[in-house]
Structure 1
Amino acid sequence: MTTTWPAGLPRSLDYPAGSVADLLAGTARAHPDRTALIDGEVRLTYAELYERSLRVAQGLRGRGVAPGEAVAVHMPNSVWFTVAYYGILLAGAAVVPVNPTQPPLALRRQLDDSGAVAVLSHPLVAARLAPAVEDGSSSVRLVSLAPPTAAAPAPEGEAAPAFAVAVVAFDELLTADAAPATAVDGDTVAHLAFTGGTTGVPKAVRVLHRNLIVNVLQVACWRSAAVPYSDERGHILLRQVPGAVTPHHIPLGAATGISIAPLFHGMGMVSQSAFVAAGVTMTVFGRFDAVGYLDTIERLGVHAVTGSPALCHALLAVPGVRERDLSCVRVVSSGSAPIDPAAVAELAEIFPRAVISDGYGLTEATMGVAISPLDSAMPRPAGSTGLVLFDTEVEIREPDGATPVAAGERGEVWVRGPQITDGYHGHPELTAAQYADGWLRTGDLGTLDAQGWLSLVGRAKDMLIYKGYNVYPGPLENVLREHPAVAQASVVGRPHQEHGEIPVAFVSVKAGVPAAERTVLAGELMAYVAQRVAPYQRVREVTIVEELPLSATGKILKTELRRRAAAS
């Protein structure tokens, strides 16, 4: 049991029976006229968001989509992604969120693996979808294309592709009657969410409705210092806890945020519903523009900023960012990968009234496992990702997967809680390897100290062995980021005939570092690290790059860096 916990909050929540549909209905009733989404000229209140989602649900039912069937959302971020997402859930179907930028062959595999019967897509990415269903042999029998918006504009100069299946305009789905939501039980699948997982094999995680609503409430109550309850209609709402709320917590029905995380990813989808629970007004961003992002924060007085470490680094690199007035921001939440302490310190400079909150989660745990407290009186230890959420347990274990390590010692992170999902769809052997007795083997390496602070040092597969010593990339990356010239850094292992593996680093530098300095920077960085770590941990080579390769969710692609290291 932890000895550190946010003042006034219970350690366990009483979760109302119901689903995310009941949560959206509750917010629509509590805050009907509050703006839910802003996407350029398109604005939807919470009442309108709920009503349009009910119409999409009925439109899908009217075209043969049955409860329990899978429907893919193949869209960039836009207001219509959110309407499509809730519409599918309100129809009793399972959402299959897919990366809209992936090539047709990868998309076809995901459609086949999930058994999706319909795809809600967008003209901007329809050209990738058409080849994936062109032969008519897939499970897909219906495609619908959403209207362009500011966040997801129409493609330039591209003719609309032809599809080998039935096509219906998204606007036509919206003309259906707003019939009641289809009832679902907690063991029904809500998401078939694809992840590379700890084995690197693409597979769909079975996120059940009970997993989803619990994790949404865990995150929402943490961020708002609240507890959930049901009203007389069975709608789910939040109530803030007197004495627990700080200026950094998200006030119910009174805050503004920015939606920038990809909504096809667990962080984006689950965080979206957590913001819905709090009645937050969200401005939807499509293609990321750091200057435009900062302009929006200042113009709207944004309370909550969320994103990945890559987004945070991009904001820090904007010229003149320290001259802006960003005092409206009260919480900066970073997720999808650990954020280094040096970046946390810099973010605190440009967001002077904000708590910098890190978070840890994974798709196999629906989304969230641990989050830093939103209380400036509880500064987290350097490098920590936060405290474990309500009703969630974490154990750090030896590689055998059975033996717990002592407090503060490194090992593999295992998680147990009501948000742990039902396993991998169609892969019982992979499920058996990662899920055991209610526990999830995450494949992440970390520590858990005696006060309950969780820290991550990397992935088990990213750890390298140099002359028999375990070398963890995370601490080395943090040291490199402390150098004043470094913007981002990633350490990987390169095979070595004599030593097993050697640590090598890829580094991008901050704007303004002269080219002449870059030529000597690699050697300087190796010496910088050597002064701060044990001899076996020293970085043996540094490569300066313009930018590090990133996934769509802002994670550094270490597989690509290992390939470059092996080839150099």
Structure 2
Amino acid sequence: MPSAWPPGLPRTLEYPEVGAGAIAVGAANRWGERPAFVRGGEVLTFAELGSRAARFARGLRAGGVRPGDRVALRMANCLEFPVAYYGTLLAGATFVPVNPLLPEPVAAAQIADADAVRTIVAADVARICDGHGDAPIPPPADGLAHLAYTGGTTGESKGVCLPHRNVVVNSLQYACWASGSLPDTDADGGLTLDQVGSPDEWVTPLGEARVVNLTPWFHAMGTIAGLNVLLLTGTTSHLLDRLDPMAYLADAERLGITSIGGAPALFAALLATPGIAERDLSSVRLINSGAAPMPVEMIERLRALCPEAVIAEGYGLTEVTMGATMSPTHRSGLHKPGSVGLPLFDTEVRTMALDGSGETAPGERGEVWIRGPQVMTGYHGRPDATADVLADGWLRTGDVGVIDADGYLSIVDRLKDMLLYKGYNVYPRELEELLAAHPDVAAGAVVGRPDPSVGELPVAFVVPARAGVREADLMAEVNQHVVAYKRLREVRFVESIPVSAAGKVLKRELRSRLG
């Protein structure tokens, strides 16, 4: 019988009282000379990462950085990034991730808002490390580990305050869930894992996983899943500078990668690559997705491509450090396409009626609320915004979801993306699922165009999959599957759908094109 909860794992975990820097210490001690990160011909082993992070921490302190100071890291994924990230944490400073692609005024405003005392780019890292010892540093466990800014996909970006405990907890929640493990520490106070789950359920032992990584480390999903979880599980990560689907698939085949992780935009690009069906991806045992829900049609295509892989979706947001739910990753798990899984260890998820009448029944739509040890302490310098979303430990996410009788969560849409047409709620994701399933659509997104007579009209932006497709024909074919008030009123063909660095569709940009 398929099971929902990971067999052999408890509902609650014992989280060691250590700082987030203990992740690097534990990985260096346990995995030693195993490659942690590979970029081109360069290799950074787990042991080298631990020693360089310690030198970087001492370099920051020698340069006047004190515990609690904010240090901004403004760099793309490179071998210097993890050194600077873990070094910042070991120094007792707060990591402030900054997207290197942000326009200069926007980046400067974010750095100023964070009260950062230093801004570090990749070229600075070797100089800061130079001349300092690499003996292990006791990882501070107090204060803020991250001051991470929201993606701003629906509005203004805000700084999210995440203490060390949040980062440790959320990293362990996902690492243990994905590998069938329990938290542990070593003699140096380094954070590590004890893999207690059956190898028949979790077929990749700790210290043997290999991935190709494109998830940006300046984003919550990248920092937690693309750095911390990989160190905890002893995973070797091969870095690509940009999304080149052909190069990605060639590396995946050559390296025999064991899992593929990313946002739906990555999977869409891979599935659209000519000849993908001929690629040997038999080594892949886990496909995990986050940042936005995957269309059901995409899940079915991935399952056909990698029949031995477990496909698992997760759900979260920066305000919960990274995430709150995950589909089962064990092989006998109960998997439900279209669902983002169950609440993780020590996490509660409920849906609240949009009219304020209380908690909804199973199967009814409502706003997703989350409570758990990974929930932020608040927005930096914004008490009013904090009060708007936090109440009695619960975070109001602004997402609309459904929880079924088994406790599985499905995300329907963002509250801010929901349209009102003559008083009816119209959820763009329902239309986007229909577009994703259409053979003539490579990508699509739906937003509302204000109309004084009815409220809002659904408009689809579509990347056609072939030449000769007509907007009117596509709209008619989609509309035959929905009731009248949900119908598309316009289809616009575009060359690409704008997405954030994390792979989320930038609907505010699409709305700006409506005029």
Alignment correspondent of 2:116: 116
Normalized against structure 2, the TM-score is what? 0.96
- 486-495 or 210-219: bigger deviation: 486-495
2:492 is aligned with 1:559: no
Q: Corresponding residue for 1:84? A: 84
Distance in 1 between residues matched to 2:315 and 2:449, nearest whole Å = 27
CA contact (8 A) 2:4 2:334 kept: no
Tell me: CA distance 1:298–1:415, structure 2 relative to 1, closer, same or farther (3 Å): same
* 1:393-446: CA deviation from partner (whole Å, max 9, x where unpaired): 001002355711111110100000000011111111111111111010111111
Contact 1:303 1:328 in 2 (8 A): yes
What letter corresponds to residue 564 of structure 1 in structure 2? R
1:22-67, Cα deviation, whole Å (9 max, x unpaired)? 2221221121121111111221211111001001001111111111
- Looking at structure 2, the residues matched to 549 and 28 of structure 1 have their Cα atoms a distance apart, in angstroms, of 39
Alignment of 1:384 onto 2:339? yes
The answer as to 2:474 corresponding to 1:525 is yes
Instruction: Give the AA of the match of 1:269.
Output: T
- The corresponding residue for 2:385 is 430
Moved more, 530-539 or 340-349: 530-539
Q: Deviations over 1:502-525 (max 9, x none)?
A: 111111122xx2x22x1x2x2232
Q: Which residue of 1 aligns with 2:169?
A: 214
The one-letter code matched in structure 2 to 1:550 is V
Equivalent residue runs for 1:535-550 within 5 Å: 535-550=484-499
In the TM superposition, 1:439-478 aligns within 5 A as 439-478=394-433
Residues 245 and 413 of structure 1, relative CA distance in 2, 3 Å threshold = farther
Shift of 1:545: 1.5
Matched with 2:131 is 175
In the alignment, the residues of structure 2 paired with residue 389 and residue 174 of structure 1 have an alpha-carbon distance, to the nearest angstrom, of 41
Alignment of 1:51-200 (within 5 A): 51-122=51-122, 145-146=123-124, 170-181=126-137, 183-186=139-142, 188-196=143-151, 200=155
Q: Contact 1:220 / 1:274 at 8 angstroms: preserved in 2? A: yes
Q: Is the 8 A contact 1:92 1:182 kept in 2?
A: no
Whether the 8 Å contact between 2:20 and 2:139 is mirrored in structure 1 is: no
Unaligned runs of 5+ residues in structure 1 are 123-144, 147-168
CA distance in 1, matches of 2:202, 2:185: 26
The separation in 1 between residues aligned to 2:38 and 2:318, in whole angstroms, is 27
Q: C-alpha separation between the residues in 1 aligned to 2:96 and 2:396?
A: 24
Letter of the 1:536 counterpart: Y
Give 1:183 shift. 4.3
Contact in 1 for aligned 2:342/2:409 (Cα 8 Å): yes
Question: Which residue of the partner structure matches residue 504 of structure 1?
Answer: 459
For residues 242 and 204 of structure 1, what CA distance do their matches in structure 2 show? 37
What pairs up with 1:233-272 in 2 under 5 angstroms?
233-243=188-198, 246-247=201-202, 250-271=204-225, 272=227
Amino acid at match of 1:418: P
Report which stretch shifted further, 443-452 or 400-409: 400-409
2-side partners of 1:229 and 1:503: how far apart?
51
- Counterpart CA distance in 2 for 1:219 and 1:382 is 20
**Counterpart of 2:366?**
411
Q: Is the 8 A contact 2:74 2:100 kept in 1?
A: yes
| Mapped partners of 2:147, 2:458: distance in 1 | 37
Give runs of aligned pairs for residues 277-356 of structure 1, distance below 5 A: 277-356=232-311
Q: 1:551 to 1:196 in 2, by over 3 A?
A: closer
Cα displacement (A) at 1:368: 1.2
Q: Distance in 2 between matches of 1:37 and 1:62?
A: 27
% identity of equivalent residues: 48
Q: CA deviation at 1:199?
A: 6.9
Q: Distance in 1 between matches of 2:322 and 2:128?
A: 33
CA offsets 1:144-203 (integer angstroms, 9 cap, x no match): x24xxxxxxxxxxxxxxxxxxxxxx634524311244254234x1001101156972222
Q: Distance in 2 between matches of 1:11 and 1:261?
A: 29
- Distance verdict in 2 for CA 1:228–1:22, change over 3 Å: same
Count of paired positions: 512
**Pairs within 5 Å for 1:484-503:** 484-503=439-458
Please list the CA deviations of residues 351-376 of structure 1 after superposition, one character each: whole Å capped at 9, or x if unmatched: 23212211111000000111111134
In 2: Cα distance, 1:199 partner to 1:317 partner: 28
Q: Distance in 2 between matches of 1:59 and 1:245?
A: 46
Contact 1:67 1:182 in 2 (8 A): no
Distance in 1 of aligned mates of 2:393 and 2:381: 19
Amino acid at match of 1:185: A
Verify the 8 A CA contact 2:51 2:136 in the aligned structure 1: no
| Alpha-carbon shift at residue 79 of structure 1 (Å) | 1.0
> Could you tell me which amino acid in structure 2 is paired with residue 184 of structure 1?
P
Pair 1:199–1:257, CA change in 2 (3 A): closer
* SS across alignment from 2:43: strand
Whichever residue aligns with residue 219 of structure 2, its letter is H
Structure 1 residue 379, shift from structure 2 partner: 4.5
Partner of 1:31: 31
C-alpha separation in 2, matches of 1:45 and 1:467: 59
Cα distance 1:350–1:496, how it changes in 2: closer, same or farther (>3 A)? same
**TM-score (norm: length of structure 1):** 0.87
Deviates most, 311-320 or 113-122 = 113-122
Return 475-484 or 231-240, whichever deviates more: 231-240
Take 1:341 and 1:479, find their aligned partners in 2: how far apart are those partners? 10
Q: 1:242/1:456 Cα in 2 relative to 1: closer, same or farther (>3 Å)?
A: closer
SS state at 1:217 partner:
helix
Q: Aligned partners of 1:481, 1:207: CA distance in 2, in Å?
A: 36
| Secondary structure at 2:5 match in 1 | coil
Assess if the C-alpha contact under 8 Å between 2:299 and 2:337 holds in 1.
no
Cα deviation code 1:230-275 (max 9, x no counterpart): 2343222111124375255x42111111221011000000111011
Instruction: Give the AA of the match of 1:221.
Output: C
Change (3 A) 1:211 1:197: farther
More displaced stretch, 196-205 vs 407-416: 196-205
Matches of 2:401 and 2:210 in 1, distance apart?
Answer: 34
1:321-365 CA distances to partner (integer Å, 9 max, x unpaired)? 111111111111111111111111111222232122111110000
Cα deviation for residue 121 of structure 1 reads: 0.7
Paired with 1:105 and 1:197, the residues of 2 have a C-alpha distance of: 16
Distance of aligned partners of 1:418 and 1:387 in 2 relative to their CA distance in 1, 3 Å threshold: same
Instruction: Please say if residues 51 and 135 of structure 2, whose CA atoms lie closer than 8 Å, have aligned partners that are also in contact.
Output: no
Question: 1:52, 1:174 within 8 Å by CA — same for their partners in 2?
Answer: no
